[in-house]
Structure 1
Amino acid sequence: MYIKASLQKISLVSLALAFSLTNLSAKEAQTSEYDNNLLLKKAVLKLYRENQELEKRVAVLEEKLGIPKPEQNASVVNPKPLDQNAFVFLSRVKDEFKKGRKIVLGQAIKDAKYYSKPSISSRVVGNVAKGKRIIIKGVTEQNGNAWYKIEDWMYIDASAVSFRSKK
């Protein structure tokens, strides 16, 4: 009986010790993770400071060599207004024809040509001036380019047509 009680005490003590060790290892993992995060933050700050110093050196060298500074956001292109955006118009025309409309009204946003087939290499059957109103009866795609069908024998490149202006 005494041996049985001592074995139970030993098992309880070992169980308590195991729980405390697992808790300890979890705390060690958290502290090591915290230390790793702290080291990473220090490394990032150090690289940031070095980068700023290099940018200052480059600015001084560019100034000495007479290299003009690029304007900020010079590569940003302002989008065309909605009434001149052929891509948006093309997606809306496709949606309209999917809904079952027979014709869609458009307007030429640049001087263009009517072709006999939906291809640049086909015969030119007419010209359209910028601002001319166009009645579109269909959309076809040929070799990755979209074409609007005006008549059975008349097509125009989709990049030349957009929304009708309200003037």
Structure 2
Amino acid sequence: MRKGRSAFTLIEMLIAVSIFSIMMLYLYKTYSTLNISNANLEKEVSKIQKIQKIKKVIFLDFTLGIFNPRGMVLINNREKNEDFVVLQSSHSLHRRVNPYVTYIVKDKILYRLESLKKFRSYELSSDAKFDVDVIGEVKSFRIYKTTKKTQSYLVAIKFKSMDDILLKVNPLNEY
């Protein structure tokens, strides 16, 4: 009579290893799918963060605009889908005090220029000193001003590869 088994048989070991291998295969597939989902989610989050950053910059530029009697914002319609916008704001990305901020479209790319001197025309002079921020490639960039006594602006930007922006802005420094 046998007293008891002290070890697994070879068949029991093969069955256990087979079951473990099948479980690992499914776990690896699940892990791979999770990594793909995380990569897609990361791309979408970065797109949303970029759009939110652009909205924040535009919002702060216009809401912190400095009032002057002739109007706070100079809007010049360059083409059907492009505006040239100049304003003085207390918002600065480059540590300037009350800079002039210009939004300009060149070769379908929207730029934000920040300078201590006001740009008078669309053509930039060679002696102008400014910092440039690239906003993105656009189909159209338009700024609309309300005709009412209160100054508010509607910023409409259609991007080629990002979500469009439609933003209503009311200046805080209004008199």
The reply to whether TM is greater than 0.5 is no
Q: Give the TM-score normalised by structure 1.
A: 0.33
Indicate the structure (1 or 2) with the bigger Cα radius of gyration.
1
Q: Which has the higher contact order (CA 8 A, sep 6+)?
A: 1
Q: Give the TM-score normalised by structure 2.
A: 0.32
Identify, as 1 or 2, the structure richer in helix.
1
Identify, as 1 or 2, the structure richer in strand.
2
